[in-house]
């Protein structure tokens, strides 16, 4: 199973992804937690670009190359081994963030889905941009793209994703974690029941 945890900066993705990894591991599932950008040479360039911006075209190219690397070396091998893969950011971030810069979101989706498997579950942690910027500032100085106008456009694209399960991340952190876990456990139970039914037939 492939699970993508998404949302604008400051929405709690990393906290929730780590919690989910821990909870599923404790329940005996074989789980791997991955984060994008990766530590590949393309991912490192992207991380460096947070302080010295690349052009949107250069940035998109790096995201695609880094994702190809992640799919080939991490995601597909883990899925083939029967593991649950949790993504702390995935290609939906590229659709939302690059889409907010003016790229066509349908073309961005097509580019990414040519190289990356679709997740079984897409969870978007929703947060108003004003609240997100407050959280980001509390961690340090925001970069030039962590501003409310830009994040509003990013958020709108995330909310328009038809396959997304939207969860309001303004709620208490404990409740947020429990809601995400409930969604995933329900999905796992449903898959197990379907598998048993197919085997019985």
Domains and CATH numbers, the chain: 2-200 (3.40.50.300)
Report residues of the chain scoring pLDDT below 70: 50-52, 141-146, 196-201
- The pLDDT assigned to 196 comes to 67
- The pLDDT assigned to 139 comes to 73
Structure tokens at 51: 């302080």
What is the Cα–Cα distance from 77 to 145, expressed in whole angstroms? 34
DSSP 20-88: HHHHHHHTT--EEEEESS-SSHHHHHHHHTTTSPPPHHHHHHHHHHHHHHHIIIIIHHHHHTT-EEEEE
pLDDT digits (tens, 9 = 90+) for 15-70: 999 999 999 999 999 999 999 999 999 999 998 876 567 899 999 999 999 999 99
- The pLDDT assigned to 148 comes to 85
What is the Cα–Cα distance from 27 to 15, expressed in whole angstroms? 19
- The pLDDT assigned to 142 comes to 56
First and final CA of the chain: distance in angstroms? 23
- The pLDDT assigned to 100 comes to 95
Q: What is the pTM of this model?
A: 0.92
């Amino acid at each position: 199973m492939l699970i993508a945890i998404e949302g604008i900066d400051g929405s709690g993705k990393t906290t929730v992804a780590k919690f989910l990894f821990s909870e599923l591991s404790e329940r005996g599932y074989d789980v791997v937690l991955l984060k994008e950008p990766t530590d590949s040479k393309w991912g490192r360039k992207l991380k460096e670009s947070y302080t010295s911006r690349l052009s949107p075209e250069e940035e998109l190219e790096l995201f695609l190359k880094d994702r190809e690397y992640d799919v080939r070396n991490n995601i597909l091998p883990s899925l083939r081994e029967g593991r649950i893969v949790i993504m702390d950011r995935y290609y939906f971030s590229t659709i939302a963030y690059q889409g907010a810069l003016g790229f066509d979101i349908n073309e961005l989706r097509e580019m990414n889905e040519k190289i990356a498997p679709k997740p079984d579950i897409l969870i978007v942690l929703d947060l108003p941009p004003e609240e997100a910027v407050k959280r980001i500032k509390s961690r340090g100085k925001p970069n030039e793209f962590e501003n409310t106008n830009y994040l509003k456009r990013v958020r709108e694209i995330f909310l328009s994703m038809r396959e997304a399960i939207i969860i309001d991340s303004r709620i208490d952190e404990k409740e947020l974690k429990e809601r995400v876990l409930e969604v995933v456990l329900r999905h796992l139970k449903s898959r197990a029941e379907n598998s048993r039914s197919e085997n019985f037939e």
